[in-house]
Chains A and B, each alone.
Chain A
Amino acid sequence: MPTEKNIYRPIRAKLTDVIVESPTIKTFVLIPEEDFSFKTGQFIELSVDGIGEAPFTPSSSPLVKEKIEVTIMKTGYVTEYMHNLKPGSYMGIRGPYGRGYPVEKFFDKEVLILGGGCGFAPIRSLLYNLAAITDKLRKVTLCYGSKTPEDCIYKPYISELRKIPKFEVYRSVDKGDSNWTERVGVVTVLLDDVKVDISNSVAVVCGPPVMMKFGTLKLLQMGYPEHDIYLSMEKNMSCGLGKCGHCMMGKYFVCKDGPVFTYDEIKDQPNIWN
């Protein structure tokens, strides 16, 4: 008799490495004990045994099947436990859940990506995906902002990105230091620097709610159509299954109908920025 699929049961994954990205952000490298794959922008429910579970969008390439990387900022009870885990520990994974980035809709277009803080995590996964299909894209422009140079994550990866043809990287920090040579200011200032053909471009935004809000408003001012702005929404996605109700954003269950939405899909829903 085939095993009955239990939607609530996590699979175990071995933590093989923990990479310190910034004082508050670490990347966890996990090897699931069962087959596991995801599409870029989809999220997982990651759990610490007996402690709790939280939603994260993997930051690794969706094209790599044998391992999964999850970048986590220490912000609360569960993530504090996660930050204390050592390689060799086991975590639980449920998913993948939701609707990720519709990469095929980006073909033959410029992709402008606006990211802030730990919002770079889902974006890195998207960038890995886009880097594998550069022949299908016109250009990829990354605008990434963080609070300080110390808070900039994925520093080695930024160097790699700058070497990829058709990729451009712009960075800003709210407050620089003597070694910082790039822009200073909130991430939206980078949008003044970029050169994009808006008529043939899509924009992707991921980051803290306040950054998502002002980033989106700026993109609209620049002339991006509402249906070409893709937002990765962060809500309290608890079950991931479109059932528990914690992530309702108006008529949408963010976990199942999202987490990636176009702005025109959600602009009339309540509380999209908080």
Chain B
Amino acid sequence: MEYFYTKKTAWDELLVRLLVSHDIFGPVAGEHFQEYEHLSSATVPEVIYNRPKPASPLKIFFLPVRENVTSPRKQEKQRIIIGAPACDTEALGLLDEIYLDSDFEDVFYRSRRQNTIIISSDCFDVMEHCHCTSYGIRPWDEKKADAAVAVKGDTLFIRIISEKGRKFISDTGVFTPVTDSSMVSFIDSRHRETESMLERANRLLPDYARTGSLVKESGQALWVKHSATCVSCGACTTICPTCTCFLLIDKPGFHKVKQMDACQYPGFERTAGGEDPLGELHERFRNRYMCKYVWKPAKFHSTACTGCGRCIEACIGKIDKNKLFMELAK
């Protein structure tokens, strides 16, 4: 792995300079959680590094909640997103497969992906519901982002992941190559510590493939029981980094407004003839897990659950899918 380093203060000064030409987003602390903010010179130093995880998933930067997809595309400023954890960058794999599909490429999505530099942040800590390692994802990114950062004291280390990331680092002129591997050995140690914490915390949680089998084999009674407190609010899908379903709404002038949708909403699959495969609450509830652990894995190469745990945190019915799967695995 190729690392560069600079002073944390030099990095912050660089970001402030880049604010002129870029929209820069990064996680800062809120009252109860950290969340992405559109950074200003005042908030650049407040960005949180190496701690999971922003309340919103990374997808919000690529799939707006609502947009007119038939009006001309606006030229947007170049964007830099700092601090995306690996569970979020990993989710881009599935988004890319769906929205950059060569048969039907979504130009709005493509242009946002091309226009954005993603600088991931290695997780050196875990939150209560984090379980990326259970699904084969490491708490640091080596594939999907453009670069990844790790901060130690007043030094910021950056790992090159993509060519776009390499060019960005090179163009900044503030980074020095790491030539002595002992300088970054702490990163490796922190990776292992985080991995080990996650594995300990989730030792009873079945892995991705086993979860798929358990979900597939479970009968209606189980889904009825565990969906009892679901209110079909769709918070789990809204907050999920890999849920991307949407609705097209017609507007005068043959315009289409694309709005994020959720399989948890009643009527999601209803046809004009009245058939509704997901008419019952327990059917919708099961559908989400079948989609994530059985159907999407059969169709796509990318994972459809990255173990971020946000759906557990967002559920007002206090449904904890991990507890459910651990119970099933007993």
In the complex, which residues of chain B have a beta carbon less than 8 angstroms from the beta carbon of A236? 268-271
Contact at A241–B104, with CB atoms within 8 Å? yes
In the complex, which residues of chain A have a beta carbon less than 8 angstroms from the beta carbon of B219? none
A86-116 vs B, Cβ < 8 Å mask (1 yes, 0 no): 0000001000000000000000000000000
Contact of B103 among A48, A50, A79, A242 (CB under 8 A): A242
A241-B104, A251-B299 given; name 14 further pairs at CB < 8 Å: A7-B104, A7-B107, A9-B70, A12-B254, A53-B248, A209-B273, A238-B247, A242-B104, A243-B244, A245-B244, A246-B268, A250-B295, A271-B277, A274-B275
Of chain A, the residue at the smallest CB distance from B109 is: A243
Interface size on A, residues (CB 8 A): 45
**A to B CB contacts below 8 Å, 9 in the list:** A4-B73, A4-B107, A9-B254, A53-B256, A242-B98, A243-B98, A243-B104, A245-B263, A274-B276
B259-289 vs A, Cβ < 8 Å mask (1 yes, 0 no): 0010100001111111111000000000000
B181 → chain A closest CB, angstroms:
44
Contact of B69 among A8, A48, A234, A249 (CB under 8 A): A8
B279 → chain A closest CB, angstroms:
9
A45-64 vs B, Cβ < 8 Å mask (1 yes, 0 no): 00111111110000000000
Residue B135 at the A interface, CB < 8 A?
A: no
Residue B153 at the A interface, CB < 8 A?
A: no
In the complex, which residues of chain B have a beta carbon less than 8 angstroms from the beta carbon of A126? none
In the complex, which residues of chain B have a beta carbon less than 8 angstroms from the beta carbon of A12? 254
Across the A-B interface, give the 7 residue pairs with the lowest CB-CB distance, nearest first.
A245-B245, A271-B277, A50-B252, A76-B272, A251-B298, A241-B104, A8-B69
In the complex, which residues of chain B have a beta carbon less than 8 angstroms from the beta carbon of A244? 245-248, 261
A84 → chain B closest CB, angstroms:
16
In the complex, which residues of chain B have a beta carbon less than 8 angstroms from the beta carbon of A7? 104-107
In the complex, which residues of chain A have a beta carbon less than 8 angstroms from the beta carbon of B270? 236
Supposing A8-B69, A238-B247, A256-B103 touch, asked if A248 and B269 sit within 8 A by C-beta, the answer is yes
Interface of chain B residues 104 through 121 with chain A (CB within 8 A): 104-107
Contact of B272 among A79, A209, A249 (CB under 8 A): A79
B227 → chain A closest CB, angstroms:
16
> Once bound together, how far apart are the Cα atoms of A67 and B1, in whole Å?
59
Contact at B248–A238, with CB atoms within 8 Å? yes
Of chain A, the residue at the smallest CB distance from B98 is: A243
Residue B223 at the A interface, CB < 8 A?
A: no
Interface of chain B residues 14 through 65 with chain A (CB within 8 A): none
In the complex, which residues of chain B have a beta carbon less than 8 angstroms from the beta carbon of A271? 277
Point out residues on B near A: beta carbons under 8 Å. Answer: 69-70, 73, 98-99, 101, 103-107, 244-248, 250-254, 256, 258, 261, 263, 268-277, 290-291, 294-296, 298-299
Contact of A8 among B247, B248, B271, B296 (CB under 8 A): B248
Residue A181 at the B interface, CB < 8 A?
A: no
Residue A5 at the B interface, CB < 8 A?
A: yes
Residue A166 at the B interface, CB < 8 A?
A: no
> Once bound together, how far apart are the Cα atoms of A244 and B243, in whole Å?
10
B130 → chain A closest CB, angstroms:
26
Contact at A9–B298, with CB atoms within 8 Å? no
Residue A221 at the B interface, CB < 8 A?
A: no
Contact at B252–A245, with CB atoms within 8 Å? no
In the complex, which residues of chain B have a beta carbon less than 8 angstroms from the beta carbon of A54? 272
> Once bound together, how far apart are the Cα atoms of A252 and B269, in whole Å?
14
Residue A75 at the B interface, CB < 8 A?
A: yes
A44 → chain B closest CB, angstroms:
14
Residue A235 at the B interface, CB < 8 A?
A: yes
A263 → chain B closest CB, angstroms:
18
Contact at A92–B254, with CB atoms within 8 Å? yes
Contact at B246–A247, with CB atoms within 8 Å? no
> Once bound together, how far apart are the Cα atoms of A234 and B277, in whole Å?
12
Contact at A9–B256, with CB atoms within 8 Å? yes
In the complex, which residues of chain B have a beta carbon less than 8 angstroms from the beta carbon of A234? 271, 273, 275
